[in-house]
Amino acid sequence: MALKKHLALLTFIMLLMALTACGGQSQEQPPTEAEQAQTTEETSATHTEEGEAHEEHEHEELSEAKTPAETVVRLMQMKGHLTSSRELWEMNDPMAAAHAAHPKSELYHVVASALAEAGVDTDAFLAALDPLPQLVAESDDREAVAAAYDRAFAAIDDAARTVAGDAWNTPDFTAEVIAGLLEGVAEEYAESVQNGELTNTEEYQDAYGFLQVARRLYETIAADAQARNAEEAEEIAHALDELAEWLPAVQPPAAVVEGVMVANASKEAIAELSELYGFQVVEASDTELLVFIHDQIEAAIAAYEAGDSDRAYELAASAYLDGFEHLEGKLLQKDPELVETVEVQFKDLRDKIQAGAPVSELEALEDAIEENLARVRAVLAEENGVDTN
């Protein structure tokens, strides 16, 4: 990308951060309920363990190697996809095959290096995931398909256990994983409903699957939460019950609630979990997420030029999953066509990396993505009341 584009991007970000700092509230002042609801719409939470330094810029934390808890969140999201897939398969719904493909197509490359570093046999892991979509789509052998689901679930649990190590099944670790899943519930649901109408069934089903896994995990620590603080445990249970009421089944209800209601219930449960179990929630702003996206794409192309296609794919996938996806819920309210365009461009970037396309094609696509991210910045600045002129 030309130096002029880099300077323009950096100048804009510095201006936007300065404006935000001038108009922001002191961190010492407790937010009102209305401000908490607004924060739900304007930011996306990412977790770090208590005791880590939080003075560094949040987008730098986002770009670091994933913690065990963050990796296990992604693995549990795989279980969420398969939970929805299996329920749909039991109903003979053709969408079951699409959801069965999501663990590998959407999530695996984001965690592949972390799994390998933790000692997970990634070949065996993929061997459990790979056959499932085709079996679900084509096989009439119900026992064989059910067994394939069981193998995939078991492989995911084994990988999570390996990554977590001694923290596996401890209440503190489980609580942080639940919080990560609930963030996903809010984000996926926000993409499924616009202006009180269901617009994307697949995203609703993703949110539903994540919620089922989160609720099952909370059942394993509910007694511990109750023993620590009965009032806070009651708040968590109430928020999860509300979410279950609004996402009652894998097929969406006739009447859906607005995304802000699901976001607020998720945020309430996350806040109570963090209070009980001592992990901190660091909120990445829109600006920091955009910088993160830019940095991940740049790093992906650099890795590709260096001959590391696997790393390049992982970084490109992270730019979307850990960056742009956190912005989609709010953007869909303003410019759904822009969201769809950028989603397709991110997929094209990953596909070109897999196909071994020339570097020049990736750089051209990077420029096109950056042009649309400039449009994203303008939409978000308007949403947040920042003048970019």
What's the confidence (pLDDT) of residue 329? Answer: 80
Residue 385: pLDDT over 90: no
Higher-confidence residue of 1 and 224: namely 224
Q: What is the average per-residue pLDDT within 144-164? A: 98
Residue 162: pLDDT over 90: yes
Percentage, residues of the chain above pLDDT 70: 81
3 state DSSP class of 284? strand
Residue 152: pLDDT over 70: yes
CATH architecture of 68-282: Up-down Bundle (1.20)
What's the confidence (pLDDT) of residue 141? Answer: 98
Residue 282: pLDDT over 80: no
Closest residue by Cα to residue 156 from 70, 80, 67, 66: 80
- Integer Cα distance of 206 and 186 in angstroms: 10
Residue 342: pLDDT over 90: yes
What's the confidence (pLDDT) of residue 285? Answer: 85
Read off the pLDDT of residues 200-232 as tens digits, 9 standing for 90 and up. Answer: 999 999 999 999 999 999 999 999 999 999 999
Higher-confidence residue of 148 and 3: namely 148
Residue 39: pLDDT over 50: no
What's the confidence (pLDDT) of residue 18? Answer: 42
Higher-confidence residue of 285 and 215: namely 215
Using pLDDT thresholds of 50, 70 and 90, give the confidence band for residue 384: low
- Integer Cα distance of 247 and 257 in angstroms: 9
> How is 252-271 classified by DSSP, letter by letter?
PPSS---HHHHHHHHHHHHH
What's the confidence (pLDDT) of residue 36? Answer: 42
In this structure, what are the phi and psi dihedrals at residue 44, rounded to the nearest 5 degrees?
Answer: -130, 130
Burial class (CB in 10 A: 0-12, 13-18, 19+), 90: middle
Residue 287: pLDDT over 80: yes
In this structure, what are the phi and psi dihedrals at residue 2, rounded to the nearest 5 degrees?
Answer: -65, 150
Using pLDDT thresholds of 50, 70 and 90, give the confidence band for residue 60: very low
What's the confidence (pLDDT) of residue 195? Answer: 83
- Integer Cα distance of 346 and 352 in angstroms: 10
The mean predicted confidence, pLDDT, of the chain is 84
Contacts of 324 (CB under 8 A, 6+ apart): 289, 293, 342, 343, 346
What's the confidence (pLDDT) of residue 205? Answer: 98
Residue 185: pLDDT over 60: yes
Using pLDDT thresholds of 50, 70 and 90, give the confidence band for residue 367: very high
Residue 140: pLDDT over 80: yes
What's the confidence (pLDDT) of residue 180? Answer: 95
Using pLDDT thresholds of 50, 70 and 90, give the confidence band for residue 314: confident
- Integer Cα distance of 312 and 362 in angstroms: 11
Residue 52: pLDDT over 50: no
Q: What is the average per-residue pLDDT within 346-373? A: 94
Residue 344: pLDDT over 50: yes
Higher-confidence residue of 372 and 35: namely 372
Q: What is the average per-residue pLDDT within 276-287? A: 84
Can you point out the beta strands (E) in 107-238?
193-194, 197-198
Higher-confidence residue of 325 and 218: namely 218
The 10 Å CB-count burial string (b at 16+, else e) for 132-170 is bbebbeeeeeeeebeebbeebbebbebbbbbbbeebeee
Using pLDDT thresholds of 50, 70 and 90, give the confidence band for residue 275: very high
Residue 80: pLDDT over 50: yes
Residue 377: pLDDT over 70: yes
Using pLDDT thresholds of 50, 70 and 90, give the confidence band for residue 284: confident
What's the confidence (pLDDT) of residue 281? Answer: 75
What's the confidence (pLDDT) of residue 62? Answer: 38
Which sequence spans correspond to the domains of the chain?
68-282, 284-389
Please give the radius of gyration of the chain, using alpha carbons only, rounded to the nearest integer. 21
Higher-confidence residue of 322 and 258: namely 258
